[in-house]
Amino acid sequence: MSKRLTRRSFLETIVISAGAATLGPSVLSACGSSRPLADVFPQSIASGDPRETSIVLWTRAVPEGGTGAARVKLELSTDPELSSRFDLGGLAELDASPDHDHCLRVKVTGLEPGTNYFYRFEHEGTKSRTGRFRTAERADANIPVRFAVMSCQDYVGRYYNPLLRLLDGEHDDLTFVLHLGDYVYETTGDPGFMMSTAERNVTFRAPDEALSLGSGDSSYQAARSLSNYRDLYRAYRSDPKLQEVHEKFPFVCIWDDHEFSDDCWGDHATYSDGQAVEEDMDRRRASEQAWLEYMPVAMDVEADGDLVVDPANLYPNAQIYRSFRFGQHCSLAVTDYRSKRPDHPTPEDAYPGAVILDEAQTRAALAAQEAAGELPAGTTADAAFAEGRFRSYVDLEDAAFADHKRALEILLTAAYGAEGVEAARAAELAATYAQGKTDAALLQARISEGRASLPADLMGVTDVDPTDATLPLGLPYFLLGKTSLVGQLGARYLTVQRTYDLVQVWRTRVGTDATHDDVFGAAQQSWLTSALSGADTTWSFVGNSVQSTSMVLDLSPFDGSLPEGLPPERFYLNVDQWDGFPERRRQLLENAYRPNNVIVLAGDIHGAYASDLGADADGNRCIELTTPAISSETFRGLLYRTGNGNASIRDSGLLDPVVDAIDSFMMSAFEPLELAESDKNGVLVIYADATELNATWHLLASGLVSRSFYDDPGALSDQWEISRWRVAKAAGKNSPLGAA
């Protein structure tokens, strides 16, 4: 054990060895206490990271008065009554320190594989509720595995009714629960998607430390300080059904974005959609510390079992990716999609007229697609260029356009300011984009509209003719669907697939920016590839917070009836997930997932999906299964709200019919997608043995999470909708059997 691992070490991670322990008399008295259980252990207890011989146990113990350390004792037994317990020696008494919000994580080692254990904590005579866990089976154990997958549990105004399915007695044999992130939401009541009620809300003890967002009646706050983030976990873990599931099953957890900030990348938030730079390392580190304090996780160093968690291991050095094994049939690698990934490839503050690929680059990228067989059958790169609706541009660095360059910079400075960008940054953005190659039509439109506001010496700047056949053709941000100076449409959401993919091909295959989409980072990528190639279990699972499945909306059939600025193209609905990094996803599929017959388990997108992501030349195949949100707004609801926020889309008459049929649209546009439920909340349960995997989604209509069924779960008996999907394992290869 590391000498740095002491009771004063950061996050109070403690290793207890029970390897030489024997069952014997209780080391604890049974004295009573006048303090209510909920006051002493307000978030109850939890277990996590189950391995063959170890487990992480968690509690939050609050001393009387709420100050100072709480002296906590631990009971552990194979007896559900805990009538006989392990003698844990001198480390059986621990301090839950206020430095860590009175949270305590205890790693118990030396346990027996495939064994049921029971545990509880005690503080000054008050005993916690009793929890249970099962250690992982031995590597050679021929025993099926059954586990649940969940994500996205918005607490504000919503209830965790789908968890009632895991508490119904029919799922008592779950080995563990895999939580893929969005365990908390960082906002107190974002009116865009949250429904604050008197019973379900979050209040910050230090509101002056939080971020203030929105305005007027739509004002709300987002966590920024460590105190703020701790308040989120205190509230979310107060839910009685979430507590029961934690008490009943060990969890394996990773984070996604909302544990820090919506649609985040690294230590950057995206609330302003480009109006401001939202980099905040202190905030990122605070969010990670709170997550580590409240989650039953252990960052094992496999070589010597040493556990060291200190400030040096927070962002940018955090490492939560790790692997597990459960007998002969299940290996699980869980990943971190958020910490190392770069910004969304299309900046929210990009000027639509800025040319990303000039004519030579566009032709080169198309040639690369032709060579890879990625263009439509029989289509050459030259034909694709001729038919690609690429746009004419001029080079502002040409002396002939010196006045146009000055005029555009002046006009863009004013335009960014009008979009809410602070003056100094507006000038910086204008200087960035009023240079180089720029779209001729958009340049002329901006000059025509703003000519009267230009200085006298620029009012006579000549017109540019975008129809001039001598002008070269290229690809500006406008062709990705970016029509505004700041905003998420065309940047994170509703991005043109054809041109977006072409830009990524140039950046990663033809150009020199091979790390442009290095999502996992080199260390995690190497670890994942090694973990998958070395797995010898029947089933190899990868838990990723976001899905690889493409979510495509094909609007080409609506040509002629689309609102201005919305071309008849195929769109990626959300490039915050792996659709945003198609080249890196292709490499993962070709080099890691398909060769190793991986089953990818994903969350984040608030829908239930199953996809056959294809086979390699040897018949090895990757399957992806996505769990819906436990309680958060469904993908259909999110899509409708986003579209309704754009006047031209809202008034087009297409919003309702497209959103109502979104599952059919997505399945027809992306053939590998074989099951889609975009308007349900629920939980996914996986059963896997030597020959077959069964995935079962337990689903509830979206409106059923807005009220509690906790006291009457039977009232939901005729409300559950069940979807099933099966995969066979033959000669080591995945063979999808489809819906059951």
pLDDT for the residue 90: 58
Q: Which helix (H) or strand (E) holds 473?
A: strand 473-476
| Residues in a beta bridge with 495 | 572
pLDDT for the residue 514: 73
Q: How many CB atoms are closer than 10 A to CB 417?
A: 16
Amino acid at 134: R
Amino acid at 169: G
Q: Which helix (H) or strand (E) holds 676?
A: strand 673-677
Query: Are 122 and 85 spatial neighbours (Cβ–Cβ below 8 Å)?
Result: no
pLDDT for the residue 633: 96
**Gap between the Cα atoms of 443 and 465, Å rounded:** 10
Query: Are 56 and 298 spatial neighbours (Cβ–Cβ below 8 Å)?
Result: yes
Which three-class secondary structure state does DSSP give residue 252? Answer: strand
pLDDT profile of the chain (740 residues), mean per 10: 32 48 35 78 97 94 94 95 82 86 91 97 96 98 98 98 97 98 96 91 97 94 98 98 98 98 97 96 97 88 40 91 97 97 92 98 98 95 97 98 98 97 97 98 97 95 97 98 94 96 94 84 96 96 98 92 86 96 95 98 98 97 98 95 85 90 96 98 98 98 97 97 97 93
Amino acid at 329: H
Looking up tokens 């974005």 gives: 257
Q: What is the pLDDT of residues 504-560, one digit of tens each?
A: 999 999 987 777 899 999 999 999 999 999 999 999 999 999 999 999 999 999 888
Looking up tokens 């059939």 gives: 557
Amino acid at 697: W
pTM for the predicted model, two decimal places: 0.94
How many CA atoms lie less than 13 Å away from 98 in the CB half-sphere? 7
Query: Are 280 and 269 spatial neighbours (Cβ–Cβ below 8 Å)?
Result: yes
Question: Positive or negative, the Cα torsion across 454, 456, 462, 463?
Answer: positive
Which three-class secondary structure state does DSSP give residue 108? Answer: strand
3-state helix, strand, coil in the chain (%, to 5): 30, 25, 45
Q: How many CB atoms are closer than 10 A to CB 297?
A: 24
| Residues in a beta bridge with 249 | none
Residue ranges of the alpha helices (H) in 555-601?
Answer: 582-588
pLDDT for the residue 619: 97
* Nearest to 577, CA basis, from 644, 638, 507: 638
Query: Are 140 and 168 spatial neighbours (Cβ–Cβ below 8 Å)?
Result: no
**Gap between the Cα atoms of 397 and 472, Å rounded:** 15
Those residues whose C-beta lies under 8 Å from the C-beta of residue 602, and which sit 6 or more positions away, are: 180, 543, 544, 545, 546, 547, 548, 549, 624, 625, 626, 627
Q: Which helix (H) or strand (E) holds 621?
A: strand 621-626
User: In this structure, what is the dihedral angle of CA atoms 247, 253, 258, 262, given to the nearest 10 degrees?
Assistant: -160
Distance of CA 502 to the CA centre of its chain: 25
pLDDT for the residue 646: 81
**Gap between the Cα atoms of 684 and 162, Å rounded:** 10
**Gap between the Cα atoms of 243 and 235, Å rounded:** 11
Start-to-end C-alpha separation, the chain = 49
CATH class of domain segment(s) 1-135: mainly beta
Q: What is the pLDDT of residues 573-584, one digit of tens each?
A: 999 999 999 999
Query: Are 602 and 588 spatial neighbours (Cβ–Cβ below 8 Å)?
Result: no
Per-domain boundaries in the chain: 1-135, 355-510
Amino acid at 559: D
Lookup: tokens for 526: 């190497």
* Nearest to 338, CA basis, from 225, 260, 252: 260
pLDDT for the residue 30: 36
Q: How far is CA 57 from CA 75, 296, 463, in A?
A: 11, 6, 71
